[in-house]
Amino acid sequence: MTIKAGDRIPDAKLVKAGAEGPEQIGAADFFKGRRVAVFAVPGAFTPTCSARHLPGFIERANELKEKGIDEIACTSVNDAFVMGAWGKANNADAVTMLADGNGEFAKAAGLEMDGSAYGMGMRSQRYAMIVNDGVVEQIHVEQPGEFSVSSADHLLEKL
């Protein structure tokens, strides 16, 4: 079942790409006590993700924070090293990169997709959500092959 507004975030393991290397963190702890804009991409360094999705959140970070967002996070079914490298390659200092290496978070949230036809295996669907103190306030899941409702622009319109 797909997570929806009003649901609590599943407490799956995520790995933060930290300055000292990978840092394991439970999703419940990460989202506790603050309002987070989190977006998910099918894969770091993939075309739409790199050209439009991540850059939009980097460019609009200040506006999101002005609307009450405490932190912006990106998650993908990639390892922490890939997420860290992708963040560095895009100067994504305003975005916390969260690796969902085994897809546990995507699966627990009901947001996994099968990218096997593209050689990607199980991945996360593309989405954006606002999580307030561990509870989903808004969620916007893209249709396959689309990029609109999970964009930073769309999220700003909804705040």
Pairing of strands 13-18, 21-26: antiparallel
Q: 74 catalytic, yes or no? A: no
Q: Write the CB contacts of 140 (distance below 8 Å, at least 6 apart in sequence).
A: 127, 128, 129, 149, 150, 154, 155, 158
User: What distance in Å separates the CA atoms of residue 60 and residue 58, rounded to the nearest whole number?
Assistant: 6
Catalytic residue among 49, 99, 141, 155: 49
* Sequential DSSP letters for 22-33: EEEEEHHHHHTT
Angular region, 114: left φ>0, alpha ψ -120 to 50, beta rest: beta
What residues are annotated to the active site?
49
